[in-house]
Amino acid sequence: MTTRGNLFIVSAPSGAGKSSLIAALLADKPADMQVSVSHTTRQPRPGEVDGQHYHFVSVEQFKQLIAEQAFFEWAEVFGNYYGTSRTVIEQTLAQGIDVFLDIDWQGAQQIKQQMPEAIGVFILPPSRDELQRRLTGRGQDSDEVIAGRMAKAVSEMSHYHEYDFIIVNDDFAQAQADLLAIIRSQRLTQASQTITHSDMLKGLLAE
C-alpha cells in the first residue's frame, strides 16, 4: 500500500484553543499524524522545550536558514521570526504521515501558493465576549495588555475566509470531533483513495 500524507495548516487567534486542539489530537501519539516543529527567534516560555515546542534559534541563525532556503515558509509574527522547515515536511508526507502546521495567516498564504492541495483550517472563538474572557486569563494583566491581545486576535481572524474549513471552538469536544472529521474526509477523497488503494483498484478493475 502506497500513500502520501495530507498537509494541514491550522491557524487561529490566540484564545481560540488551537494549541489545546492540536495537543488533544496528538495526545495518543497516532502513527499517522505529526505536528511540525517550527524555528523561532522568540525566547522560550516557562515549560517550553527546545526541539519539542520550537527550535529556538538566534536572529543570525534564522537569517542563515533563510539564505540556505531551508524554510517552506517564514514570517515575522508580532516582532519575532517563525519558520517551517522544508525537508522535514516533505520527508514526513512521503512516509504517508499527515502533517499539521500551527502557523499564522502569512505562512498559510505562502504554503497555499506552493502547495494548493494543502488544507487550511481556521479555528474561531464563539464570540467576542468569550474571546475577551479567554484572553483576560487569570486577571493579572493590565487593560492595555488585554486590549493589545484583542487587537492582534481580530487582525488574525480577519483572514478566516482564506481557509478551506472553519471550526468554531465553543464546546471543546465538538471542536475536536470537527477537526477529526476534516482529517478523515481528506483521507477519503478520490485522489487520496486512488493512491492508498492502487493495488486493490487494479484488482477490481482488471478486464
Binding-site residues sit at 12-19
Nearest approach, Cβ of residue 181 and ligand 5GP (Å): 22
d(CA 143, CA 149): 10
Contact 124, 59 (CB under 8 A): no
Nearest approach, Cβ of residue 110 and ligand 5GP (Å): 8
Nearest approach, Cβ of residue 144 and ligand 5GP (Å): 19
Residue 8 in contact with ligand 5GP, rule: CB under 6 A: no
Please count the other Cβ atoms lying within 10 Å of the Cβ belonging to residue 27.
Answer: 8
Residue 40: which H helix or E strand, with range? strand 39-40
Residues 62-121 binding ligand 5GP (CB under 6 A) are 73, 75, 77, 82-84, 102-104, 106-107
Q: CA separation (Å) from 49 to 11, 44, 56, 109, 118? A: 22, 8, 9, 28, 28
Indicate the SS3 state at residue 91. Answer: helix
Please count the other Cβ atoms lying within 10 Å of the Cβ belonging to residue 119.
Answer: 20
Cβ closest to ligand 5GP, residue 3 vs residue 85: 85
Cβ closest to ligand 5GP, residue 3 vs residue 73: 73
d(CA 97, CA 118): 14
Given candidates 34, 38, 41, 169, which one binds ligand 5GP under the rule CB under 6 A? Answer: 38
Binding-site residues for ATP sit at 12-19
Alpha helices in 12-166 (DSSP H): 18-25, 59-67, 86-94, 105-114, 128-136, 143-157
**Residue with CB nearest ligand 5GP?**
107
Nearest approach, Cβ of residue 194 and ligand 5GP (Å): 31
Please count the other Cβ atoms lying within 10 Å of the Cβ belonging to residue 148.
Answer: 14
Nearest approach, Cβ of residue 82 and ligand 5GP (Å): 3
**Which residues of this protein are in contact with ligand 5GP, per CB under 6 A?**
38, 42, 73, 75, 77, 82-84, 102-104, 106-107
